Amino acid sequence: MQGRQLPRVRVKRRSYTDRSFLHPNRRNYLLKFEMEVPENSYLLTSSGLSKLDYSKLERKFKEILRKVSSGKEDIRRAAQILEKHFDEIRRSSSPSRNEIPRYDDVAILPGSSIKGAVRSRVEYKLKPVKTSKGYESASCYSVVGQYNTLSKAHMEFWYPEVIYPRERCGPKEFCVVCDLFGSQGLGSRVYFSLRSRVYFSDGILMKGGPVRLDGYGEAFSPGSKFSLEVTCENSTILDLGLLFLGTEQFSGSPILLGGRKYAFNPKTGGKYKNEYFFGLVTFKLKEILEFEPNGKKETIKEEKEIQEKINEARKKLIQEIGEEYIGFEEGVIK
């Protein structure tokens, strides 16, 4: 009932980017980040598949792939064998929602979780603006009906209009966020997973690690650091601007990731054991690799040059989307 009474937000859409070739005016990018959990925060990233032995599945996959390549196994039979093997591993595992995901016994931050957190932040920061024709936004919500599931703390952290329902994208026109991150029937250009146009690798732990918290299970400890690579296909400076917006390159603020992030939060109140927040993570851009259609590669490592690229992307965001539609300070934690 409440959703029907709220103003409906019209979403600015456009034709999607053709994924079948690298456009002359676009580039492929590889962005290298260092992620860090601040000293006043823990990070909960529990998973029901935390103890699944992916290394066994990977070895079986490579074995079957060799058989298919040599003609000893047909592809349909190979798929059946792999599915059966996966089920056997899953049944023999002991999943727990209170433990950090691991790959081959190494604790990781799943790329899919990072992608979801970054995308959601971009969607929220492209906030609704009241115009003469009603409310309008540069982004839809990737999760249909999301406004009905937001908690009070969630709304306090962002802004009242965050609960307003937004139009859906597709089938031929999409908002800038869906065009980059993907939507139903439209592949992503930023690889957080193997099916998207923007790929976020799993965060590889470099420092710190899992600890066990009373009542919450495993969490990454304060000061934990991760290396992260983000691959962007067929992208423009505007696309980089959206990624920089979602990783808070313009403000330097932590973003929110993982469980209980709105319960123990600097903006909404509450601390774990009166000392720690949950879910704060900062992103430091360390290197940019730019690939042109002709194969030429440019590498940017100097801090000054990286900052110049960030500034260029910010200007492009304002130019193409409009400053009034971008909440640069929304969700920023001072």
- Asked if residue 54 belongs to a domain, the reply is no
If asked whether residues 215 and 276 sit together in one domain, one would say yes
Please state, in angstroms and rounded to a whole number, the distance separating the CA atoms of residues 67 and 69.
5
Q: Which of 192, 178, 187 is nearest to 123 (CA)?
A: 178
Domain count, the chain: 2
105 with 90, same domain: the answer is: no
Please tell me whether residues 22 and 91 are part of one structural domain: no
One domain for residues 81 and 221: no
pLDDT of the residue at 2: 47
Cα 257–47–221 angle (5° rounding)?
A: 55
* Angstrom distances, CA of residue 119 to CA of 11, 54, 91, 123, 257: 16, 26, 33, 6, 11
The two tokens of residue 107 are: 């604790």
Do 89 and 175 fall within a single domain? Answer: no
pLDDT digits (tens, 9 = 90+) for 148-195: 667 788 888 999 898 899 999 988 899 999 999 988 767 767 654 333
Q: Are residues 86 and 175 in the same domain?
A: no
304 domain-assigned: yes
| pLDDT in 10s for each residue of the chain, 334 residues | 344 578 999 999 999 888 888 888 899 999 999 999 999 999 998 654 434 556 666 777 778 778 777 777 776 676 667 666 666 655 554 445 578 888 777 888 988 899 999 999 999 999 999 999 999 999 999 875 556 667 788 888 999 898 899 999 988 899 999 999 988 767 767 654 333 456 778 888 888 889 999 888 899 999 999 999 999 999 999 999 999 999 999 999 999 999 999 999 999 888 999 999 999 999 999 999 999 988 889 999 999 999 999 999 999 999 999 999 999 999 999 8
Q: Full-prediction pTM beyond 0.75?
A: yes
Residue 67's domain spans which residues?
Answer: 61-96
Question: Looking at the domain assignment, is residue 135 inside a domain?
Answer: no
The tokens of 209 are what? Answer: 């690690």
Q: Which of 61, 60, 65, 52 is nearest to 104 (CA)?
A: 52
- Give residue 270's pLDDT: 86
Q: What gap in Å lies between CA 55 and CA 60, rounded to an integer?
A: 9
Asked whether residue 20 falls in the same domain as residue 91, the answer is no
Q: Which amino acid is at 293?
A: P
Does 117 lie in the same domain as 80? no
Tokens coding 285 = 């851009």
Does 55 map to a domain? Answer: no
**3-state class (DSSP) for residue 162:** helix
The confidence score (pLDDT) of residue 284 equals: 98
The pLDDT score that the predictor gives to residue 193 is: 36
Does 257 share its domain with 230? Answer: yes
Asked whether residue 284 falls in the same domain as residue 194, the answer is yes
pLDDT in the model for residue 293 = 87
pLDDT of residue 3: 42
Check: CB of residue 23 under 8 Å from CB of residue 69. Answer: no
Whether residue 279 is contained in a domain is answered as: yes
Domain annotation covers residue 141: no
110 and 37 housed in the same domain: yes
Structural domain includes residue 10: no
- Residue 197 maps to a domain: yes
Q: Report d(CA 15, CA 18) in Å as an integer.
A: 9
**Within this chain, do residues 103 and 91 fall inside the same structural domain, yes or no?**
no
